[in-house]
Structure 1
Amino acid sequence: MTEFYTPKQACRFPVLNPFDPSILKFIQHPPPLKCSRLQPELTYAKKNKVYLEETLAFKHELTKLQYQYFRRANGSDSSIFYNPWKSFPSSGELSLSHWSGVVLKGTYNKTFSYSNIYASIEPLYDRSKDKEDVQAEGYRPNVVIIGIDSVSRSNVIRNLPLTYKYLTQEIGGWDMRGYVKIDDNTFPNMVAVLTGHKATVQKSEFKLKPQFEFVDEWPFIWKNLSNIGYTTMLAEEQPGIFSYKAPGFKKQPTDVYLRSYESIERFMENQNSLNKPYFVFSFLWKLSHDITYEIEKLDEILVTWLEKIHKKELLKNTLLFITSDHGNRFDKIRSTLIGRYEERMPFLFMRPPEEMLNRFPTIENALTTNLYRMSCHYDFYETLIDIVKGEYGNVKRPRFKDRGYSLFSEIPSTRTCKDVQIEEHFCVCQEETSLSINDPLVQRSAKAILEQINESLNPVNERCLSVQNNNRYHYAQLLTDKNVTNIISFVRVTLQTTPNNGVFEGVVQVTQASSTNSKIIAAITGYDNISRINTYGKAANCISLTHRYLEKFCTCREAGF
């Protein structure tokens, strides 16, 4: 991997080959998911009502059909309140208004049980009672964001080929080549998209600690959009970004808030019929989180859905994003140099509606220029702020903490990781030279990483085992920086440890007294600059609720390693 994008910009990230020879042995193509119906479709949903399919119901002798409304319980992202069971209306239709959804049950063909679940796609609460339903002036497109956990651009090309082809050749848009993550895992990257802030479980620009406190008061972008008349929807696959080992939301954060199932297409159709703008943020993670190629099982399903909403013209006035938080952090490809870059370069595809491009012709040029510039999650946020402000590509408007740029305006070619506050460890802008594993720089750097890990474990040393190097392998990569002399270097080392065969990667700043003095001082600036690049399963369960930020380092003494 020796090819880099244009030398005319400060961040010369590499041109990644999704089928590089060094990763071919890890590439697999699992069979697609084949979902067959186990019961006839005796009911169906249209807009925000459920209907009885009378012909099929008669054919299959459907009896005792009942319904049970449910609603999210206030104060918990994991609890549901259920209403008593009632007989399905004789009219053959059932409204979902003022509920989160409904469960159906009945008997068909005399002995078979029928069941189904339908989500409401209308706001649970009437906002007009609290304030005027203000419709913002100016051009405001719908916004739909479909996020998929742990998917790099290369991963999409390899394992979502049908989806990638349809996006780029049929829907059309911009596939951002230089989109990089700002931090390690899902939480800080998606918080940056939705609030513009920098936040991790342990360190945050917010006063609240998300592991222990509700995040309702955070300045989520859907609040801004709600204030100018958008109907908002948050539809994660299951509690994840804000609710993983954390309280999440006390109150329902958006007008429509779904868990475990989605009805985005119905929501879009309903909002279009009401002629109201809307915002959708959906996030999927189960298929892709642990094994890179497993996401291919979603390919046919996702491309079919995209084709449906495209042909129904639901994208006509919709700014569509298909994106990810980061690349895969734990798969076997991650143990390669290509895999390390992929982990740091997630997928971002965006497609502005035709009317937006016609109204604001500078957008197209800016997006094309930014295609090969370093972009990140802060830029995504600023792009959404353009929608809120109704100012598309206005370079003069204030930017939050001066970190991000709207993708509708040109990103400077001089931009570096420091400008975006991306740690050296996660930066993709460096050029590298190999070092021998036996080089004193590497040996001292590996020792510095181990010292930092064990120092970080001090608060939990009664529960977690200390870490030792078993010297199995290193990346042995030297990073050079054009802004420093040969006295200071950055060394990236990957090492495998005991117990539990943990594989860690870190960037260490190495200082030599002079070019002729062999004394080496290696230092690593905190545990955030060390990544765990293989899975640890339940080995750290003993500290998950108290010291979640140390899970990647901890192997519980009780785990038996």
Structure 2
Amino acid sequence: MVCFDSTSRNGFIRRMPKSFKVLTEELGATVLHGYNIVGDATTAALLPILTGKTELELPDVRKVAKTYVKLENLPFIFYKLAEDGYRTAYYEDMPWVGTFQYRFRGFKTQPSDHYLRPLLMEDSKRGTKWWLNPSQRYCVGDTPVYKLMYNLTENFFRLDGKKFCLTFVADITHDDFNYITTAAEDTVGFLRNFLRMGRGEDTMLLVFGDHEPRYAKVRATLQGRLEERLPLMAIRLPDALRRRHPHAQASLEANVDVLTTAHDIHATILDAMDLRKYWNPYRINGADLTRGLTLLEEIPKNRSCSEAGIEPHWCSCLSWENVPQNDVIYNRTAESLVDYINSLTEYMRSQCAIRTLTSIEWVMRQRVNNGVLTFMEAKDADKYEGKFGDKLRPAKENYQVKITVGPGSGVYEASMSYVVKEDKFYLDSRDISRTNAYNQEPSCISKYHPHLNMYCYCTNN
């Protein structure tokens, strides 16, 4: 498992295009489009993967907690796998804000067989707070810290026996996501080495993020808010597992556009290891299925955020609402579609009549749920309580419309985007469907211009 802090799916594609191409094309990893966070920040992203539970469902191990409970008392997957004969490794940089040290008490004993934190904390040659010096922060000697972790991960997998490793890269993404590009070539090499060393046969690879950069300007836009909720999650199943369970890869691919969470990743990892006995059987009140579902089986496509354990303000699912007829946008969407249809036949105007609007059957607007539009940030230090503000209007709105045009009777459904700042609609012929037969309407042009058949009404008709 290789995790990049503050990395959304879209952000990784933008900043690490070569790595993404290697991951998806050369390794054949499956990227989840509907992978949604279940809470704020790194802890909320990793705890469900590593324990199958959220922070509020576990004993309170915060520094401010009145009762003393050790982190070692939490049901980490490291401990379960050690009992099953696995070697374990946990590598994480930025130890001064560690996932389990910043708000939590930290581990009294190392949680895995191989643990990087002591080395990074006790590098006394650079001083007790060496990370305050930018010239020292990103490297150990002449080796970037992320590359040190890549090297350790590769060395770890040369050991005998069953192995489980979490490598969490943060220092080149946490404060400024643009720094991730410094690791571009090394990441490509690390991924290609996965296959070169023959690990594709029996090793499951997950490359993922915990959330989107929360300190970038884009965070104030709807795009930024959605990316915060939709981190990277790419999964490559072992070849041996695919042969043993031929349905597994097909099921994983069927779940690409389904709503999924970190709870599902926990269940999937255990399923791949034949350790379903450690699954969390918890289910949301009223839900038919458990909260965590394995991706090696098809997940219902109508799964809701509530069933998956996602609070409304973290839910990135979209819905459609009817636009009332008295809304100015109602007629504008229909008129924009008619204008676009006429623009497609413009160069054949001597043969194709101008289409005119006859009726509007419906207009719908795509909406992000209200929680996302009004959520600003976590209000309290523990990131439990949300701070909400004025509703944010998206920079771009999506609409669908169904109309009838004349002459004749052409019925069309179309999707279009409206850019608020430009006060302009954008359409693409690929997003237009004609829902009734055109019969002989385009007979005058169909022989040489068949791509216009669904739009043209011949004047000689």
Fold similarity call, TM over 0.5: yes
Letter in 2 for 1:492: L
Q: Sequence identity, in percent?
A: 29
What CA distance in whole angstroms lies between the structure 1 residues aligned with 2:372 and 2:271?
Answer: 39
Do residues 427 (structure 1) and 315 (structure 2) align? yes
Residue 238 of structure 1: CA displacement? 3.3
Letter in 2 for 1:185: A
How far, CA to CA, are the matches of 2:304 and 2:48 in structure 1? 18
What is the CA distance between 1:290 and its match in structure 2?
2.9
Structure 1 partner of 2:225: 340
- Give yes or no for the alignment of 1:493 onto 2:374: yes
Contact 1:150 1:326 in 2 (8 A): yes
**Which residue does the alignment assign to 1:528?**
385
Matches within 5 A, 1:91-106: none
Q: In the alignment, does 2:82 pair up with 1:226?
A: yes
1:193 to 45, 49, 52: 49
- What whole-Å deviation, never above 9, does each CA across 1:351-379 have from its counterpart, x for those lacking one? 01111101111101110110110111000
Which residue matches 1:251?
A: 109
1:403 equivalent in structure 2: 291
Q: What is the match of residue 147 of structure 1?
A: 3
Matches within 5 A, 1:129-168: 145-168=1-24
CA distance in 2, matches of 1:192, 1:301: 29
Residue 315 of structure 1 and its aligned partner are, at CA, apart by 3.6
Q: Which residue of 1 aligns with 2:198?
A: 313
For the 8 Å contact 2:174–2:213, the answer to whether it is kept is yes
1:299 counterpart (160, 184, 195): 184
CA distance in 1, matches of 2:78, 2:100: 15
Q: What is the aligned counterpart of 1:418 among 286, 301, 306?
A: 306
Separation in structure 2 between the aligned mates of residue 226 and residue 307 of structure 1, nearest angstrom: 28
- Alignment partners' CA distance in 1, 2:72 and 2:24: 37
- CA shift for structure 1 position 292: 3.4
What SS does the corresponding residue of 2:73 show, helix, strand or coil?
coil
- Residue 328, structure 1, aligned to residue 213, structure 2: yes
For residue 217 of structure 1, what is the aligned residue in structure 2? 73
Cα deviations by residue, 1:55-99 (Å, 9 ceiling, x for unpaired): xxxxxxxxxxxxxxxxxxxxxxxxxxxxxxxxxxxxxxxxxxxxx
> Which SS does the other structure have where 1:298 is aligned?
helix
Q: 1:208 to 1:398 in 2, by over 3 A?
A: closer
Does the Cα contact within 8 Å between 1:179 and 1:375 map onto a contact in 2? yes
Query: CA 1:332 to 1:192, structure 2 compared with 1: closer, same or farther past 3 Å?
Result: same
Question: How much does 1:312 deviate?
Answer: 2.1
- Please state whether the residue corresponding to 2:167 is helix, strand or coil: strand
Does the 8 A contact of 1:478 with 1:490 survive in 2?
A: no
Q: Which residue of 2 aligns with 1:277?
A: 162
Secondary structure of 1:530's counterpart equals strand
Q: Deviations over 1:292-324 (max 9, x none)?
A: 333222212211222233312234321000011
Change (3 A) 1:506 1:425: farther
Deviations 1:378-403 (A, max 9, x none): 00111122144356xx9xx8734421
Residues 155 and 267 of structure 1: CA distance in aligned 2, closer, same or farther (over 3 Å): closer
TM-score calculated relative to the size of structure 2: 0.60
How far apart are the structure 1 equivalents of 2:377 and 2:154? 43
Deviations 1:207-260 (A, max 9, x none): 233334531111011111111111000111133110124321010111111134
Change in 2 beyond 3 A, CA 1:170/1:205: same
Give the drift of 1:430: 3.3
TM-score, length-normalised on structure 1?
Answer: 0.50
Task: Return 5+ residue gaps in structure 1 as ranges.
Answer: 1-144, 436-476, 482-488, 495-503, 508-525, 533-561
Question: Aligned partners of 1:289, 1:258: CA distance in 2, in Å?
Answer: 18
Task: Determine helix, strand or coil for the equivalent of 1:179.
Answer: coil
Task: State whether residues 194 and 200 of structure 2, in contact with CA within 8 Å, keep that contact through their aligned partners in structure 1.
Answer: yes
The number of residue pairs the alignment matches comes to 304
| Contact 2:225 2:372 survives alignment (8 Å) | no
More helix by share: 2
Compared CA separation, residues 186 and 505, structure 1 to 2 (3 A): closer
Q: Which runs of 5+ in 2 are unaligned?
A: 121-144, 284-289, 324-364, 390-461
8 Å CA contact 1:434–1:478 kept in 2: the answer is no
Asked if structure 2 preserves the Cα contact closer than 8 Å seen for 1:425 and 1:506, the reply is no
Residue in 1 that maps onto 2:36: 180
Amino acid in the other structure paired with 2:301: S
Residues 318-357 of structure 1 deviation map (CA, whole Å, 9 limit, x = unaligned): 1000011111222111121111111100000010111110
**How does 1:535-546 map onto structure 2 within 5 Å?**
none
